[in-house]
């Protein structure tokens, strides 16, 4: 999953920060970073693109710079990812400028709705725009505290090998998380809670923990609120979501739960397709 990244850039401070993040992902097995620009006014001679490429080179990674003239960036990003054999797309959530802090742009939404590859979506505060390197120096490791939202649908089974890859890449602590929905069950429904707990423990048992501390958390209530609240409680450095399933991302449109999580979270997200 981490071996070859495609990082879409629009020369915004946000996308430049994403490149800075990518240069630090060699510890997770990243070997090559492809910088991709689909803006019609950008060429390979742009000095900012050169700076980005030099950062990747100094980090000791393989690198490639690809620029194309495209009016619709999202389909172009997905096509480039497929044609160049990348294993993950890593992108900033917004490239709309300083006033759009933590807003998810249309290009980012278009990519995560349709991608057949894992998408790492990161959001950056204003301080990151002022000093990307300094901001990244202070950030905790991406895989330090991982929250994996599991809805126990078939999509969760598809997620399993990707979750294992996160562990293999060096995840330090992982919380497998499920929300028992208050719209369907009662807080007093002990049978449902026992069933869910058993299924979650079975899921956990299929993972080779290696050096990762894995635990299981159950919450009761609305899914979106509880995912975001659990992320806050454990101070998650990454939230992992499947891209299909009940209440999660579906095909070319976002389900309400997933859209709210993607838009509401200020933390990095990893979207896993199925």
In angstroms, rounded to a whole number, what is the distance separating the alpha carbons of residues 72 and 84? 19
pTM of the model: 0.91
Our count of domains for the chain comes to 2
Same domain, 9 and 122: yes
Give the three-class secondary structure for 142: coil
DSSP assigned state of 25: G
Range of the domain at 112: 4-138
84, 115, 138: which is the final residue of a domain? 138
Q: Are residues 77 and 177 in the same domain?
A: no
Please compute, for residue 100, the number of CA atoms within 13 A of its CA located in the half-sphere on the CB side: 14
Is the pLDDT assigned to residue 95 strictly greater than 80?
A: no
Q: Is the pLDDT of residue 51 over 90?
A: no
Query: Is the model more confident about 236 or about 46?
Result: 236
Please give the average per-residue pLDDT across 46-74, as a whole number: 86
Same domain, 181 and 246: yes
Backbone torsion region of residue 235, taken as left when φ is above 0, otherwise alpha when ψ lies between -120 and 50, otherwise beta: left
**Which of 92, 115, 138 is at the close of a domain?**
138
Mean pLDDT confidence for 149-163: 91
Predicted confidence at residue 246, as pLDDT, reads 46
Give the pLDDT score at 156: 87
Q: DSSP class of residue 235?
A: T
* 132 and 17 fall within a common domain: yes
> Model confidence at 68, in pLDDT bands (50, 70, 90)?
confident
Q: Are residues 149 and 221 part of one domain?
A: yes
- Point out which residues pair with 221 in neighbouring strands: 181
Question: What CATH number has the domain bearing residue 127?
Answer: 3.40.50.620
The dihedral built from the CA positions of residue 28, 33, 36 and 42, taken in this order, carries a sign that is positive
Asked if 213 and 133 sit in the same domain, the reply is no
Percent of the chain with pLDDT over 90: 56
| Whether residue 241 is found in the same domain as residue 220 | yes
**pLDDT confidence of residue 41:** 61
Residue 251 has pLDDT above 80, yes or no: no
Mean pLDDT of 6-26: 91
pLDDT higher for 72 or 177?
177
* Same domain as 165, residue 122: no
In this structure, are residues 164 and 207 in contact, taking their beta carbons and an 8 Å threshold? yes
Please work out, in degrees rounded to the nearest 5, the angle formed at the alpha carbon of residue 172 by the alpha carbons of 248 and 260. 20
Q: What is the pLDDT of residues 237-247, one digit of tens each?
A: 999 998 764 44
Alpha-carbon distance 181 to 219, whole Å? 8
User: Are the C-beta atoms of residues 170 and 143 closer than 8 Å to each other?
Assistant: yes
Task: Compute the distance between CA of residue 183 and CA of residue 190 in angstroms, rounded to an integer.
Answer: 16
8 and 105 inside one domain = yes
Is residue 70 located within the same domain as residue 182?
no
Span 257-270, pLDDT tens digits: 777 888 889 899 99
Q: 116 and 18, same structural domain?
A: yes
Q: Are residues 67 and 123 located together in one domain of the fold? A: yes
Boundary of a domain, candidates 138, 159, 181: 138
List of E strands, 88-243: 88-92, 119-122, 145-149, 173-181, 213-221, 238-242
């Amino acid at each position: 999953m981490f071996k070859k990244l495609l990082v879409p850039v629009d020369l915004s401070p946000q996308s430049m920060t994403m490149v800075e993040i990518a240069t630090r992902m060699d510890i997770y097995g990243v070997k090559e970073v492809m910088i991709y620009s689909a803006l019609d006014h950008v060429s390979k001679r742009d000095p900012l693109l050169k700076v980005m490429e030099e950062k990747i080179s100094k980090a000791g990674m393989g690198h490639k710079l690809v620029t194309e003239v495209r009016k619709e960036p999202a389909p172009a990003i997905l096509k480039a990812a497929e044609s160049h054999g990348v294993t993950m797309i890593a992108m900033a959530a917004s490239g709309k400028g300083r006033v759009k802090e933590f807003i998810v742009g249309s290009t980012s939404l278009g990519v995560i709705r349709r991608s057949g590859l894992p998408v790492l979506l990161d959001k950056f505060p204003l301080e990151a725009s002022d000093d990307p390197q300094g901001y990244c120096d202070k950030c905790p490791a991406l895989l330090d505290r991982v929250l994996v939202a599991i809805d126990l649908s078939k999509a969760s089974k598809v997620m399993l090998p990707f979750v294992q890859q996160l562990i293999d890449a060096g995840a330090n602590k992982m919380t497998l998380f499920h929300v028992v929905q208050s719209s369907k069950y009662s807080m007093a429904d002990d049978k449902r809670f026992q069933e869910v707990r058993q299924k979650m423990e079975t899921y956990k048992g299929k993972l080779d923990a290696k050096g990762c501390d894995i635990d299981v958390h159950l919450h009761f209530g609305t899914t979106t609120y509880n995912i975001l609240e659990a992320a806050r409680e454990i101070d998650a450095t990454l939230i992992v979501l499947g891209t299909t399933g009940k209440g999660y991302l579906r095909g070319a449109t976002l389900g309400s739960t997933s859209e709210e999580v993607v838009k509401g979270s200020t933390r990095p997200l990893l979207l896993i397709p199925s």
